[in-house]
Structure 1
């Protein structure tokens, strides 16, 4: 068997510690598949004294991850620190500049600097591998870059954040408000103390930007993604979706259109019969529409130490085997400039929740405003407000009442223009709630 492949491991958090343990406990299995032993020769982390449940033995410790990346005892640099810049960026650049393969799980780094890092890797005949950066243990990067290389991709979409999926699942199952489910997610370790990155959709957007590049051969442009989080979703919305045959999920969607690539992250009503609708709790699901295979769906754990370490280990084994592929599926210099499709031209059905003042002519006025903008309504449902965790007071006959509108396919511009006019008419007591419908 060949000489050992020596890893420099930067970051010993949940994923880094799980990877170290995996390499130690499954050494023979990994060596048989890689064609050589895989060993950790050096590590770097912020706190040398922290108890991580692993025995580093005589593995060399580096306070500076850049020094680890440059050390001659390191054949492959594994970056598991996280963050779009700082030490993570500096050490990855150092390793690639030295011609060393890099394996990373850092979606924020790739979303911000992926184009430059891909060129740097190719200029120095190095590998930049990142299966673990999107959807944890689901092999979606390999699927898009290798298995579907003969397909023209028209759409890629999915549930890419387990925290949001857990919160929405709990809200539905137990009729609990968002804040209660968020607090439980934080208690269980699914959500950070500051959950903004997850619940406002930015984590999903970073992952979607990477998938878009792989699927459509464009440069990464995370700044062009339309992003909307789940904070405003209520149990009333979830209950209405259920009655109408849908479930609400936070989706990332990238789609090829006649005018460019549409990238969007937002709460979405999906048919109960769809695979993504049946993906619950912290699981992720990614679907790809290919010209030859039709739609394929991959479902699995999108985060967690073992699932993410599994993906990292797969990339390390590929490096050991000598697999060398263009970072985003084609040479970085051949990636096309990203051309953004206008989100306001997006076309589809919409769920609209209005809080309507109970007065004569209100419904007729609302329907008229929709008709003026060319919007056809599939249904109008008036639902008497009832006590809930979010609105516990007993309603009175004079209270504004929720009205649910379901539209046929229309454009973002048309629906927003109609809602602007409805607000001006003064028949509603709160801002409209809009949720897109994705027919999967």
Structure 2
């Protein structure tokens, strides 16, 4: 990331060129660079090409990103003084916002000479400048291509009553979305800029510096006193590698949602070793909505959006399968019960044959069985239409055992038109 001292030197040099009479800005010569994309994006906004009712704003319309975006839009309208005023206002409350420093430096330099590129200053690392350009593009693209409030991520098939919110991270767009649970259905609440793995997504092994793709859950809230400054004000580990990752030989550990060091407001879109990183003030807001052991963190490299009612058929089908499984277990018909499990089933170190043999032995000692399930959560796996993560509370009783546990199952459809079968099952 660009160092603030270097950026500050460039700004001081530019400030020294300003006389008591405010000179006119020199023409901004924009070449075919990332800045062109940024300016072009705001050209669409300024022309009204995007309908206002489709524009999703950050949770706070006066937040740092909104002020930054507004200043960039004013640049496209040649309102340089207003743009500079907005950036200076932003830096008063967020002096470590490096992208804002870079834009301010450009605006000051543009008063004295033409500039040909974003970050057209000497003495700064070109990689740092490229990182800041990528951040600017990611932030602008979010406002240029907003998601309709009438659409939701397809992964939230059913949210259980105890789960207040769901987190959806889009590594491709550098964005994190929060959805509120309203009667089991998701409702958009807010979204934030994020940074993710240096080498992209689809994590496969330890040290590959990639962010995993999948359905995960918050497993802990790391106490502030146990964190170094690098992680910002909070950190929330997730359960990577999950059951599906381990089955597919994926390795690694320590994938967290965390903040930024105190000397920087945000990090470039691709900057972490695999974690999901937010600005500290954004993380403080997100942290209030995270429930350890309950909140799902679904990470995708390209979110698929659907109309909320489009999950109704799939939800109804899975609930029916789950009820059949419960009823078959209660019936004592062990073969009907085992028929709910797929050929690729695994649990612990047991495959389907080994697990079935164990279940037959256990069942032979049962005179009666009662099974109740509630708090059902259903989450479709990113990038797949045939894999579902199902969580629920299970109440089990029989003539010789009684318990209550939280259970997780993975259901997979055997083919495009075939039935769904359980391929993994275990207590959480």
Structure-2-length-normalised TM-score: 0.26
Find the structure with the greater CA-based Rg.
2
Structure 1 length-normalised TM: 0.25
